[in-house]
Amino acid sequence: DRRQRYLFEYFNSYPLKVRKRVEYVTTDMYKPYIDLAKKVFPNANIVVDKFHIVQLLTRELNKLRINEMKKLNTRSR
């Protein structure tokens, strides 16, 4: 179950002393997961995995490329 409430309960089943020792949490860019990680692992650095960063950049670059292509007349293409 990936619901935030369930994950919060699961991670909080570990003592705070243990959770404070977590140094890194890797996640995608889903804000609720990032917020959850900050709450349950107060000392951890949040790391966004490379796959999701590359995916986001690729999508945005494609949008930009398509918009620029639409600005050109058909002869320029």
Question: End-to-end CA distance of the chain, in Å?
Answer: 49
Q: Tell me, what's the pLDDT at 77?
A: 59
For residues 53 and 50, what is the distance between their CA atoms, to the nearest angstrom? Answer: 5
Q: Tell me, what's the pLDDT at 73?
A: 73
Q: Where are the domains of the chain?
A: 4-71
Question: Could you read off the pLDDT tens digit of each residue along the chain, which spans 77 residues?
Answer: 678 899 999 999 999 999 999 999 999 989 999 999 999 999 999 999 999 899 999 999 999 999 998 888 766 65
For residues 12 and 38, what is the distance between their CA atoms, to the nearest angstrom? Answer: 12
Report the 10 Å Cβ neighbour count for 11.
17
How far apart, in Å, are the Cα atoms of 74 and each of 34, 63, 70? 45, 19, 9
